[in-house]
Amino acid sequence: MVAKRLITQNQFRWIFFLWIGIWGLFWVRPFFTGKSEFTQNLRLLPLSFEERQEAVYGRDLYRFLKFCKSQLPAGSRYRLVGLESLSLDFARSVYDLYPCLLSGEPEYLLVYKQPQFQADHFARSAFLDEDSFILKVQSRTP
Amino acid sequence: MMIEYLLGLLILIFPSVLAWGFIEVLDCQRVLTVLEKLPLAYLFGLGIVAWEMLVLQLLGKPFSPLWLLTPLLGASILFSAVYMRRKRHLKAKPQSQSPWLKEHWSKVDIFLLTGIGLELGFAFTRALLLPMEDFDAVTNWGLKAKAIYLANGIPLGFLTNREYATVHADYPLLLPLVESYVYFLLGHINDFAVKWIFPLSLTACVTAFYAGLRRMTLNRTAGLAFAFVLVSIPHLVFSATNAYADILIATYFGAGFFYLFLWIRQRNDLFLGLSALLTGMAGLTKSEGMVLCLVNLVVLMWAVNRERSVDRPHGWRQVLIYIGVFSTVLMPWLVFRLSMKAQNDYIHELSVERVVQWETVMRMKTILYHYQAQFFNLKSWNLLWLAALGLFLFRFKKILQSDQKFIFLATAMTLSFYTSVYFITFNDVAWHLKTSFSRLLVHFVPLVVLGFASAYLDSAQKD
């Protein structure tokens, strides 16, 4: 007796056609809705590496990180203020600032868009603008 | 800028040349086709670099271009000498390479090839144009690579720094080591140039998959169709662009399983050796890789046990050799990890009281919700999970009666393990599922598509 086959080659073909239809839909649709990531990424093609990083990270954060890297001595310890811990901007900043190290006992506080921020035993050492600046730890009297 | 990209590519291809020689030495019967050797050479090349760097670390040698290149060049010369010596004794090459370029290409073949090309093109464009920017890429893999490069070795103090908990000291280091190898030979950090690794891994995955299907006697059009199905899964392609390790582990595990499956069907011991090497490299890539090693080992043991007979008395010897090969691949990492005394967060926090409680059972509701959210997400997965579910329900008996049961077993074991992690996680389970489940599913996508192809082959043979 021939075993009953529950899925035939023909059915495989129909599922495959359906697959191609869905694939085509999700490929083509973004081009019509103007949300194609592919075309958005292609806009990065003529840019330099730095300009691409600026476009992806956002202009403000990129400028802030570039400023911090120019001011911090290699291997110094810092804490970020104004960026939510474990947010994507925080993660990108920590990556970009390495080999400077994130620390619970920082030598520098890197303040991002917090114009009113102050901390005991820290004094402003460099400014990017009114909102973003670097505070350096002051020697503490015993 | 183009030179940086080109150098990055050449630096990554260089170990593949060595690996090609290694494959030629392994393939003494000249069984493998060029289409099989290409992805294998790339994947082994990455594995060899990471393995070499771990050994250098254990020997206390610094990571420098000289120390990195000398053993690679030495091994290349050795493999070439062995190969040339053997080549003299070999007769004319058997028909292992089909003249596939000379065959007639139908319109369907060309359409499928164009679709595959489009998807790979998208992966290369996105990967190479964007910097290292996604969460795990910058908090874990890319950051470790940067730290290794700047320290000329694996910096233990950094890995165990409590401020950098997201680095996870216990995670295997294949990807950061390969990224830092590119930086060492490049002479500086360029996180655009290392991103070749990811779309090339996807290309290797699809090529190995297609070549494996052809070896399973699937015709070219069907082989291309299933390769297209694999590469047209949006989430798999996305994972080949974001600098995460998931595409690498999916490729190593997938290819390791393909060759194990081929060994089960055709009993060529070369396939078993390739499977053991690839599976070991999956273990070097991510913590989950250790479980995936176990999955392939269980499948092998089942296959050996099923066919143990007077004719095949040496099955268990093959299991031992398999364990020996993947343990050799894993050994430098395991020794290094032991010396580091790094603990796995989940295992460290695990206790009977944590697991045996009502709250653990109640997590099922959240887990099922997130499962269905992924399974019905056509934008990310197309019909993959729905078709897999349909295949499972309609062909359950057939699956159990045929070799497809091995694919089912491997997929079920992997999914069960990943599910169990969500039951015991000390994180908020909804957050954990939301941030990781789709990535974990990527690991066994090649197996699921292999299941489709195998079922199709089964129905084609009946037709």
Do A62 and A123 fall within a single domain? Answer: yes
CA distance A5 to chain B (A): 8
Q: What residues make up the domain containing A29? A: 10-42
A110: nearest Cα among A132, A89, A130 = A132
- The tokens of B74 are what? 């030495």
- pLDDT of amino acid B360: 78
Q: Do B135 and A88 touch (CB under 8 A)?
A: yes
Flag whether A100 is in a domain.
yes
CA distance A102 to chain B (A): 6
Flag whether A32 is in a domain.
yes
Q: Which chain B residues touch A if contact means CB-CB below 8 Å?
A: 1, 4, 115, 118, 122, 125-126, 129-133, 135, 138-139, 142-143, 146-147, 150, 161, 163-164, 166, 190, 192, 225, 229, 232, 234, 378-379, 382-383, 387, 391, 394-395, 398, 455-456, 459-460, 462-463
Flag whether B97 is in a domain.
no
- pLDDT of amino acid B396: 87
Around B358, how many Cα atoms within 13 Å sit in the side-chain half-sphere? 0
- Confirm if B339 and B156 have CB atoms less than 8 A apart: no
B394 pLDDT band, cuts 50/70/90, is: confident
A108: nearest Cα among A135, A129, A68, A74 = A135
Q: What value does the mean pLDDT take over residues B227-247?
A: 96
Among the partner residues A95, A101, A102, nearest to B142 by beta-carbon distance: A95
Residue B243 falls in which region: left (phi positive, over 0), alpha (psi -120 to 50) or beta = left
Dihedral sign for Cα B336, B340, B345, B351, please: positive
**Is B192's pLDDT higher than 90?**
yes
Q: What residues of A are in contact with residue B148 (Cβ under 8 Å)?
A: none
- Confirm if B213 and B453 have CB atoms less than 8 A apart: yes
Cα distance between residue B41 and residue B48, in whole Å: 10
Q: Do B232 and A19 touch (CB under 8 A)?
A: yes
- pLDDT of amino acid B361: 79
Do A29 and A85 fall within a single domain? Answer: no
3-state secondary structure of B95: coil
How far is C-alpha B84 from the chain's CA centre? 30
Do A22 and A89 fall within a single domain? Answer: no
Q: What value does the mean pLDDT take over residues A132-138?
A: 92
Flag whether A1 is in a domain.
no
- The tokens of A132 are what? 């973003």
The greatest distance separating any two alpha carbons of chain A, rounded to the nearest whole angstrom, comes to 95
Domain total in chain A? 2
Cα distance between residue B124 and residue B309, in whole Å: 49
pLDDT digits over B56-75, tens only? Answer: 999 999 999 999 999 999 98
Cα distance between residue B428 and residue B370, in whole Å: 13
Q: What residues make up the domain containing B252? A: 2-88+124-462
Burial class (CB in 10 A: 0-12, 13-18, 19+), B163: middle
**Is B78's pLDDT higher than 70?**
yes
- Candidates B5, B130, B402, partner chain A, best to mutate (most A CBs within 10 A): B130
Distances (CA, A) of B409 to B299, B415, B454: 7, 10, 14
- pLDDT of amino acid A90: 95
Flag whether B106 is in a domain.
no
Do A72 and A34 fall within a single domain? Answer: no
Distances (CA, A) of B57 to A15, A74, A99, B64, B208: 51, 24, 20, 11, 32
- The tokens of B265 are what? 């069907």
Among the partner residues A16, A53, A95, nearest to B225 by beta-carbon distance: A16
Q: Do B232 and A8 touch (CB under 8 A)?
A: no
Q: What is the per-residue DSSP string for B340-369?
A: HT---HHHHH--HHHHSSHHHHHHHHHHHH
List all residues 6 or more positions away from B149 whose beta carbon is below 8 Å from its beta carbon.
B63, B180, B183, B184, B189
**Is B92's pLDDT higher than 80?**
no
Q: Calculate Rg over the CA atoms of chain B.
A: 22
Q: What is the per-residue DSSP string for A71-133?
A: HSPTT-EEEEESS-TTSHHHHHHHHHHTTSEE-SS-SEEEE-S-TT---TTEEEEEESSSS-E
Do A23 and A82 fall within a single domain? Answer: no
Flag whether A5 is in a domain.
no
The angle subtended at Cα B320 by Cα B315 and Cα B325, nearest 5°, is 125
Flag whether A49 is in a domain.
no
Q: What residues of A are in contact with residue B379 (Cβ under 8 Å)?
A: 26
Do A64 and A124 fall within a single domain? Answer: yes
B413 pLDDT band, cuts 50/70/90, is: very high
- pLDDT of amino acid B401: 87
- Confirm if A56 and A43 have CB atoms less than 8 A apart: no
Among the partner residues B115, B129, B459, nearest to A7 by beta-carbon distance: B459
Do A99 and A127 fall within a single domain? Answer: yes
- pLDDT of amino acid B261: 95
**Is B310's pLDDT higher than 70?**
no
Do A126 and A75 fall within a single domain? Answer: yes
Flag whether A122 is in a domain.
yes
B313 pLDDT band, cuts 50/70/90, is: low
Do A38 and A63 fall within a single domain? Answer: no
Among the partner residues B142, B391, B462, nearest to A5 by beta-carbon distance: B462
Q: Do B456 and A9 touch (CB under 8 A)?
A: yes
Question: Which region among B154-163, B218-227, B323-332 has the lowest average model confidence (pLDDT)?
Answer: B154-163
Q: In terms of CA atoms, which chain B residue is nearest residue A22?
A: B382
The proportion of chain B whose per-residue pLDDT surpasses 70, expressed as a percent, equals 92
Q: What residues of B are in contact with residue A52 (Cβ under 8 Å)?
A: 129-131, 192
**Is B82's pLDDT higher than 90?**
no
B434: nearest Cα among B360, B349, B369 = B369
Flag whether B171 is in a domain.
yes
- Confirm if A22 and B382 have CB atoms less than 8 A apart: yes
pTM score of the predicted model: 0.93
Flag whether B75 is in a domain.
yes
Distances (CA, A) of B324 to B51, B321, B330, B448: 16, 5, 10, 28
Question: Which region among B95-99, B263-267, B320-324 has the lowest average model confidence (pLDDT)?
Answer: B95-99
Q: What residues of B are in contact with residue A92 (Cβ under 8 Å)?
A: 133, 138
Q: What is the DSSP letter of A137?
A: E
- Confirm if B442 and B247 have CB atoms less than 8 A apart: yes
- pLDDT of amino acid B315: 73
Q: Do A7 and B139 touch (CB under 8 A)?
A: no
Kindly report the average pLDDT of chain B as a whole number.
Answer: 90
Q: How many CB pairs under 8 A join A and B?
A: 102
**Is B445's pLDDT higher than 60?**
yes
The greatest distance separating any two alpha carbons of chain B, rounded to the nearest whole angstrom, comes to 69
Flag whether A3 is in a domain.
no
Q: Do A94 and B143 touch (CB under 8 A)?
A: yes
Q: What value does the mean pLDDT take over residues B16-21?
A: 92
Q: Do A6 and B394 touch (CB under 8 A)?
A: yes
Flag whether A53 is in a domain.
no
Cβ count within 10 A of residue B121: 12
Amino acid sitting at position A47: L
pLDDT digits over A62-115, tens only? Answer: 999 999 999 999 889 999 999 998 899 999 999 999 999 999 899 999 999 999
Q: What residues of B are in contact with residue A101 (Cβ under 8 Å)?
A: 161, 163
Flag whether B114 is in a domain.
no
Q: Which chain A residues touch B if contact means CB-CB below 8 Å?
A: 3, 5-9, 12, 15-16, 18-20, 22-23, 26-27, 37-38, 41-42, 44-45, 48-49, 52-53, 56-57, 86, 88, 91-92, 94-95, 98-99, 101-104
A3 pLDDT band, cuts 50/70/90, is: very low
This model of the complex carries an ipTM of 0.89
Helices (H), B307-444: 315-340, 345-349, 352-355, 358-375, 378-381, 384-394, 396-401, 404-424, 429-442
Distances (CA, A) of B302 to B307, B318, B384: 9, 12, 27
Do A38 and A62 fall within a single domain? Answer: no
Q: What residues of A are in contact with residue B126 (Cβ under 8 Å)?
A: 37-38, 41
Q: Do A52 and B133 touch (CB under 8 A)?
A: no
Q: What residues of A are in contact with residue B130 (Cβ under 8 Å)?
A: 41, 44, 52, 56
Using the CB atoms, write b or e for B433-452: b if 16+ within 10 Å: beebbbbbbbbbbbbbbbbb
Q: Do A37 and B126 touch (CB under 8 A)?
A: yes
Domain total in chain B? 1
**Is B329's pLDDT higher than 50?**
yes
Among the partner residues A12, A41, A52, nearest to B456 by beta-carbon distance: A12
Q: Do A91 and B383 touch (CB under 8 A)?
A: no
Cα distance between residue B69 and residue B71, in whole Å: 6
User: Mind spelling out the 3-state secondary structure of B112-131?
Assistant: HHHHHHHHHHHHHHHHHHCC
Amino acid sitting at position B263: W
Do A25 and A65 fall within a single domain? Answer: no
pLDDT digits over B161-175, tens only? Answer: 888 877 788 899 999
Do A117 and A66 fall within a single domain? Answer: yes
B448 pLDDT band, cuts 50/70/90, is: very high
- pLDDT of amino acid A54: 95
- The tokens of B160 are what? 């165990």
Q: In terms of CA atoms, which chain B residue is nearest residue A55?
A: B130
Q: Do B383 and A6 touch (CB under 8 A)?
A: no
Flag whether B105 is in a domain.
no
**Is B460's pLDDT higher than 80?**
no
Q: Do A95 and B143 touch (CB under 8 A)?
A: yes
